[in-house]
Chains A and B, each alone.
Chain A
């Protein structure tokens, strides 16, 4: 379970990191890292200002 980050869309703002309930995301300068604690809950994808995140079930 994870999320896909479209790096060509992502504005590296970190909003997704702030809403992740398990702290699976990290903003490193210009990209988002997803670790293996991601539960595919999809909150990050819902609030992404540009729609760069897609949940993988």
Chain B
């Protein structure tokens, strides 16, 4: 299978005042197209840092990161923004919807930044919202819907550009367990439909939805476990 992500000896060092924090200390792994990988670890393990780098939100201090064969370290800010727009669909713990915009506008947002024609934009956004079962809530605002619905809007927003990977950062962290399960089932279904999914979590139960779990501890890979 085609390798969508190749990571070699990735390091990330933060300087917080005089304190040097080594968040990643040489991480290497590959992810194939269509995989469902969970990155798991306790807080401080470096999983958020890793997610930011995979999500093209941040540059690593050292090592190499190839996304779809492209060396991400060699991209400038604008190219990185384009990569985020086209290759990655984010699903955040805090949903991160724009509170004053309607659900439709929220889902249209990624399309706004790649100059999709406004007519297609609406059509694509409505389609994505229908996929997550919110086709009847287009004109609602985020404060008018439940947490589970918000996360479904976020998933629709992640899907609307047909990204190469869906990057979910603790997607169930702000939800009750029943709703969390619904969301995980939805993500699972997206995987079944052929999407590549990277799930970042500290909960073992949630991580179990993945077909492979990368255990991260103190900035290095502790264990790379394949679920049969």
Answer yes or no: do A and B interact. Answer: no
